[in-house]
Structure 1
Amino acid sequence: MPLCKRLLRLVAIAILTPVIFLLGCQSKLIYYPNPYRAEHETMLRDAKGARVRFTTSQGAQTAFYIPPRVTTPGLPQTIWLCFCGNGSLALDWLHFTDDWDDHFAYLLVDYPSYGDCAGKPTPGRIRESGKAAFAALAQHLGSTQQELQPRTAVLGHSLGCAAALMAADDLNLRRGVLVSPFTSMTDMGRIVLGWPLCYLNLHRFDNRQTLRHVTSRPSARFVIFHGAEDEVIPVRMGRELAAVQPRVVTFHEVPGAHHNDILSLMMDRIGRAMREVVAQVEP
C-alpha cells in the first residue's frame, strides 16, 4: 500500500476512534446512577414520606412525596419539585429539607436508572419523568395538575437544574431556585472535550433556551446560586444564565463554594430564597 494511503488510514483511525468512543459511551460519561441504601429507607420513614409510583416509556418509576411538617387542612401551601445533581439521589434532598420552611411539601424526583427507577436517562426521558411524576402527585393528593400548578415551584442542583427547568417549561411553573447550573451540555462538552468534539453531544440539554422561555411568563421569578470555586461547572455559566432575564433572575455568587459543598454551605440561604421566591419577595 502506498505510503500516502497508509498515512490517510492512520489519520482516519485517529479521528474516528474518539468519535466512535464518544458516541457509544456518552451516557456513561454523563450519568452516574446509584441504587438506594437502607439508610434512605430510614430517612424516608422519619420524614413521613410516601412513594409515588408511576410508569413511563422506561418502565416503573418511583418519586417521593414529603408532606409539610406543619399540617394544615387541604393542599400544601407550596410544593417543591426537587431534582438532584448527577451521582446523587432524590432522597439525598432530605438532608436539607428539615432545615427549610415547615410549610413546604416536596416531590423528590429521580431519573430513569437512578434509585428505584427503570430505564436509561436521556433529556427526553428525564423530561417525561418530570411530567409523569407531577401527574402522579396530583392523583396521590386527590387533586388535579391545574390545582397544584400555582402552588408548585422547582429546585435543582447541577444536572437537576436542567430537569427542573424542563419540568417548569412543561408544567407552566414560574418560580424556582437553581444551584450550580450549566448553560448547555454542548458548552460543558467544549470545556471537557474541546472543539469540535463537543458537537458530538447527543444529550442536548439547553438551560439557556429553556430558562429564557420559562422566565418570559408573567410573574416568573428565579434565583441562581453558584460557587465561585466550582470546579465542575464554571461560575460564569451561572452568571450567563442570570443575564438571560436579569429583571426576573437573581444571581448569587458564593465565595469559597465548590460544586458539591455549596448545598451545605448555603443551606439556610437557599431555604430563605425558596420562601422569598414563592412569596414574590425580592431576595
Structure 2
Amino acid sequence: MKGFYASMILVLALLTGCMKQIPYEPSQIENFFARSENIQLEFTTDKGRQVAFYVPPIKNPDVPPERIALLYPGIESVALGWMRFIEMEKSERTGYLLIDYPGRGLSEGTMRPEENYLNSEGALLALAKHFGLKQLEAEYSLMGHSFGTGAALQFAARHPVRKIVLVAPFTTLRKAVAVKSWILSILMPAQIDNRKLIQHILSSDSPPEIIILHGAEDTSLPVTMGRELAAIDPERIVYHEFPEDDHVTILTSQRDLIFSGLNGSE
C-alpha cells in the first residue's frame, strides 16, 4: 500500500510539472550575458545548487539598487523568459531579479511548491554577498504569472514589499490542478492557498499595493479565480480583466500595464 501511494505521488508530481526538468537553450544564456553588467547568482539549498539572474538598473549598475523587482515564471517556464519583456529604459533605477525554481534552468533538484520562497531568499542573499553586504536595503516589488503568483505571495507573506502584481493567478493550487484533473487534485500532497496568503499580507501594518490582471479567455486558470482573489478586499486590490486575453497572450498585450504597475513612478 505504501508503494502504491508513493507511485501515485510520483505520477502526480510528473503530471503537474513539479519534477519536470526545463533546461535553458544556449541562446538564452548568451542573450543574457550580451549585456556585460548582468549577473548570474549561485547559492545552495537542500535541493542543491540554485541559480538566479540579476539585471542591474541602467543608472549606477555597479552599486546596490534602490529597488528590486522579483519576477516569478509559470510552472512551464524559466526565469530568463522574462528578458524579452523587460524594458530597462522605462525603469532606470530598478534592478530585476529573475527567479528559477529547483529543476528549472540551471538549478538542481526537484521543486516542492510550498518551499518556493527559499529560492527568492537565497537569491537575495547571494546578491547582497555580491555587493559585500549582509543584506540589501532595497524596496521590493513582485510580479508572478500563473504558478508564479503563489511563489510571489509566499515571499510577500514573509517579507515587507512595496507592490505585488499577479498575472493570471490561481486561488488554491489544488483548484488549479483540478482544472486538468480532479483526481490529481485530490491526491496532491502540496497546497498553496493564495486567498489566505493575500489575507495575511493585507493584515500587516504596511500592506503593499496588490494588482491583479486576468484574461477572460484563460482556460488554464479561469478568470473566476482572479475575480475571487480581487473580491477579498476590493478597496485595496486593483483588478483588471481583459475580454480577449488568454493565459499567455496577456503577458504580451498587457506588458506596459504590468510593468508600470510593478515599478510605478520613478
Fold similarity call, TM over 0.5: yes
Matches within 5 A, 1:120-131: 120-131=110-121
Matches within 5 A, 1:164-243: 164-194=152-182, 198-217=185-204, 218-243=206-231
Aligned to 1:29: 15
Alignment partner of 1:147: what SS? coil
Aligned to 1:265: 253
For residues 47 and 86 of structure 2, the distance between their equivalents in structure 1, rounded to whole angstroms, comes to 29
Matches within 5 A, 1:1-283: 22-31=8-17, 32-47=20-35, 48-71=37-60, 74-98=63-87, 100-145=90-135, 147-148=137-138, 151-194=139-182, 198-217=185-204, 218-276=206-264
Flag the structure with higher helix content: 1
For residues 124 and 61 of structure 2, the distance between their equivalents in structure 1, rounded to whole angstroms, comes to 21
**Cα gap change, 1:227 to 1:275, in 2 (>3 Å):** same
For residues 78 and 258 of structure 2, the distance between their equivalents in structure 1, rounded to whole angstroms, comes to 19
Alignment partner of 1:145: what SS? coil
For residues 61 and 235 of structure 2, the distance between their equivalents in structure 1, rounded to whole angstroms, comes to 34
Alignment partner of 1:41: what SS? helix
Alignment partner of 1:106: what SS? strand
For residues 69 and 210 of structure 1, the distance between their equivalents in structure 2, rounded to whole angstroms, comes to 33
For residues 164 and 238 of structure 1, the distance between their equivalents in structure 2, rounded to whole angstroms, comes to 15
Alignment partner of 1:210: what SS? helix
TM-score by length of 1: 0.84
Contact 2:176–2:221 (8 Å) recurs in 1: yes
Q: CA deviation at 1:261?
A: 1.4
For residues 123 and 82 of structure 1, the distance between their equivalents in structure 2, rounded to whole angstroms, comes to 16
Alignment partner of 1:176: what SS? strand
Deviation per CA, 1:103-159, whole angstroms, max 9, x where unpaired?
2211101000001001000123322222222222222233343623xx111111111
Alignment partner of 2:114: what SS? helix
- The answer for unaligned runs of 5 or more in structure 1 is 1-16
**Cα gap change, 1:216 to 1:33, in 2 (>3 Å):** farther
- 69-78 or 135-144, which deviates more: 69-78
For residues 109 and 103 of structure 1, the distance between their equivalents in structure 2, rounded to whole angstroms, comes to 19
Q: CA deviation at 1:228?
A: 1.0
Percent of residue pairs identical: 33
For residues 136 and 60 of structure 2, the distance between their equivalents in structure 1, rounded to whole angstroms, comes to 22
TM-score by length of 2: 0.89
CA RMSD of aligned residues (A): 2.3
Q: CA deviation at 1:66?
A: 0.5
For residues 51 and 73 of structure 1, the distance between their equivalents in structure 2, rounded to whole angstroms, comes to 14
For residues 201 and 135 of structure 2, the distance between their equivalents in structure 1, rounded to whole angstroms, comes to 18
Q: CA deviation at 1:189?
A: 3.2
**Cα gap change, 1:107 to 1:197, in 2 (>3 Å):** closer
